[in-house]
Amino acid sequence: MAQQRNDIRILNIVGARPNFMKIAPIHRLMQASDRFRATLVHTGQHYDEKMSQVFFHDLKLPQPDIYLGCGSGSHAQQTGAIMMALERIILELQPQLVLVVGDVNSTLAAALVASKLHVRIAHVEAGLRSFDRSMPEEINRLVTDSLADFLFVTEESGRRNLLSEGIHPDKIFFVGNVMIDSLKSHLAQAQQSTILDQLQLNHHPFALLTLHRPSNVDDQHTFDRILLALEQIASRVPIIFPIHPRARKMLTQFRFDHRIERAKNIRLIEPLGYLDFLQLMKNASFVLTDSGGIQEETTVLGIPCLTLRRNTERPVTVELGTNVLMGMDTDRIVAESFKILDGHSRPGQIPPLWDGQAAQRIVAILEQRL
Ligand code: UD1
């Protein structure tokens, strides 16, 4: 019998900033295919214009079909609110598959709800492990992977971790990295961004900083050690710091604002959209970050990345890419930054299958298996 058109009903779930660039290439392909009826659901975990809406615009993502408006709260409140809202949607729409990306609370909440309603789950970016259970994301990754039916991994370590946790090999698919699909397809457009002019950085060296992990910004002592390093680095090069709402809140709470003001070369700016941030990253002398995705993006762009963490769930960026783990050691952060400024940085390689085709592989596998 011939296949019906639009016969596979899928919910594509997004919630927080790092989800949008991962879902965009997948959702676009599903919309273009006559096999899928894909519904885009936004949990509302991130809701500020600069944390959410700007990404829909930059990535040309259609507005979400369903917006749950769950917002912020403690982990239990946020996860619970998303679960309750999503349960109603799944019961109403009866999808065959719920597709989740990354490791945020929205990912976990959607996987829990789908599994209890016996709906199959695809997890994009499965298998990554920091082996640090004090990170909320590590809990989200472990639980989501244990429930998922299709586990799409970005790097070889992901497959190894899943196999060692007893996941059946038939469920694991090494497909590459959808975040890199988005990066590759938006580089030319990012070139049109005027952000370098706006910040008067054209042809000037600068460092780019992002910071938002609770372990870094919610802990006064750790935040202080990072700031001490930044103050020294800023004596040689301006540091551009698009600040995450969580970091801004803690900066004020710890009364660190005046230190930023005094160190004139640390330039706090509002969170940026996707294209402006890509353009800054591509032109930075180096990047300081505690983000997950930025470790991957800098590796592909060949920009040195100093990760302000003790561990990474993305080891390929250290083994092959441009990433170096710094821990919270002030002197080490300063020394590595100065080494880069003196022209001693490690050229990286692009990890296998980070070629811009990951979403195509995912959609082809789902089309075949569902
Ligand atoms: C979340 C993810 C993290 C991801 C990060 C990217 C979890 C557990 N964490 O962390 O993995 O790297 O997003 O940004 O899911 N807030 C706003 N406006 C917003 C959203 C949040 O002001 O649009 C503030 C609120 O005060 C909120 C706080 O930021 O309480 C934290 O937001 P939340 O979504 O809980 O976690 P993130 O730190 O953003």
Query: Which domains does the chain possess?
Result: 8-176+354-369 (3.40.50.2000), 188-341 (3.40.50.2000)
CB neighbour list of residue 154: distance below 8 Å, 6 or more residues apart: 125, 128, 175, 176, 177, 179, 296, 314, 354, 358
Whether residue 26 has pLDDT greater than 70: yes
pLDDT in tens, 304-350: 999 999 999 999 999 999 999 999 899 999 999 999 999 999 889 99
Q: In this predicted structure, what is the pLDDT of residue 1? A: 47
Whether residue 363 has pLDDT greater than 90: yes
pLDDT in tens, 74-105: 999 999 999 999 999 999 999 999 999 999 99
Q: Give the atom of ligand 1 at the shortest distance from the alpha carbon of 103.
A: 11
Q: In this predicted structure, what is the pLDDT of residue 347? A: 87
With beta carbons less than 8 A apart as the criterion, state whether 178 and 358 touch.
yes
pLDDT in tens, 186-212: 999 999 999 999 999 988 999 999 999
Q: Does the pTM of the predicted model rise above 0.95?
A: yes
Side-chain-side CA neighbours of residue 262 (13 Å): 10
- Rounded Cα–Cα distance for residues 150 and 284 (Å): 37
- Rounded Cα–Cα distance for residues 34 and 153 (Å): 26
Minimal-distance CA residue to ligand 1 atom 35: 72
* Residue among 27, 123, 212, 244 flagged as catalytic: 212
Whether residue 3 has pLDDT greater than 60: no
Q: Place 4 in a pLDDT band, splitting at 50, 70 and 90.
A: low
Q: Give the atom of ligand 1 at the shortest distance from the alpha carbon of 47.
A: 23
- Rounded Cα–Cα distance for residues 130 and 51 (Å): 25
pLDDT above 70 coverage of the chain, percent? 99
The rounded Å distance from CA 51 to ligand 1 centre is 9
Q: In this predicted structure, what is the pLDDT of residue 6? A: 74
